[in-house]
Amino acid sequence: MKKTKFFIIFGSVFFLVGLGISIGAFFSFSSTKAFIASADRAQGKVVSLERRVSTDSDGGQSTSYYPVVEYQLSTGKKIVFTSSSGSSPASFRVGEKVEVLYDPQDPNQAKINAFFSKWGATLILSFMGAIFSLVGGIILFFGAREHRGRKWAKKYGREVKAKVTYVGFDRSYAVNGKNPWMVKCEWRDGLTNQLYTFQSESSWSDLRSHLNVGDDIRVKINMRNPKQHWVDTSIDTIRAAA
């Protein structure tokens, strides 16, 4: 898989994941809004704090505290529920009085009437969706622009012969722990004496089998924007030039 294609696919995945999370945030917002509109209210009290320990990918641990709340229905029945939102440090203390919103059809479905308890999930999903979509969009934009630039240069660019200065691994990315191959080369414009440096697309073939430092290699350049270029690393072209 070529580097540009890899980043386009990578960016697309990030963008689609972000879009999916954003859709989840919208449904979370709609669900919470509907719940608040139909909920009954009651006075409750924090009777304990449920301690939960989570471990991240690096092995680090963090502790969050989830309030356990007791409230009473108009019938006298007592309901105990654990808030779906926790924090560190704890946002509530044991014995603290809180207002409770609950579903009259299912009193076990209840929330503390506090901003983060109601909207925390929506905010977190919205933030994650925005980050994934933004990162994916940026990767897609630059990947697509580079792809268009190479395609234009290959078809319409000025052809020159450059000198190979490096044949080795492209360490800017890896797939399954392996780096692809790439070539760097230089060409000096005889009219302006400007030195240009070019880099090939990545390749999973060992380019050292037909390329060495000092060899001539064909490059096609958009002279208005030399960043848009295409380096011909095909073995047939190299052999024909030799």
pLDDT digits (tens, 9 = 90+) for 175-202: 888 899 999 999 999 889 999 999 998 8
**Omega cis (within 30) before 89:** yes
Are residues 97 and 210 located together in one domain of the fold? Answer: no
User: In the chain, which residue ranges form alpha helices assigned H by DSSP?
Assistant: 3-38, 115-156, 235-241
Q: Are residues 120 and 232 in the same domain?
A: no
Structural domain of residue 76, as residue ranges?
A: 3-127
Report the pLDDT value the prediction gives residue 5, as an integer from 0 to 100: 73
Q: Are residues 94 and 169 in the same domain?
A: no
Predicted pLDDT at 3: 67
Q: Which residues pair with 53 in a beta bridge?
A: 63
Is 150 domain-assigned? no
The answer to whether position 139 is within a domain reads no
Q: Is residue 215 part of a domain?
A: yes
pLDDT value of residue 93: 95
Q: Examine the domain organization and report whether 110 and 211 are in the same domain.
A: no
**What integer is the mean pLDDT of 66-89?**
93
Confidence of residue 236 (pLDDT cuts 50, 70, 90): low
pLDDT of residue 238: 54
In terms of phi and psi (left: phi > 0; alpha: psi -120 to 50; beta: otherwise), the region of 177 is left
Residue 210 is part of a domain; what is its CATH number? 2.40.50
Nearest residue to 22 (alpha-carbon basis) of 91, 30, 41: 30
Name the domain boundary from 111, 127, 143.
127
Do 91 and 192 fall within a single domain? no
Task: Let me know if residue 116 belongs to a domain.
Answer: yes
Per-residue pLDDT averaged across 201-210, rounded? 88
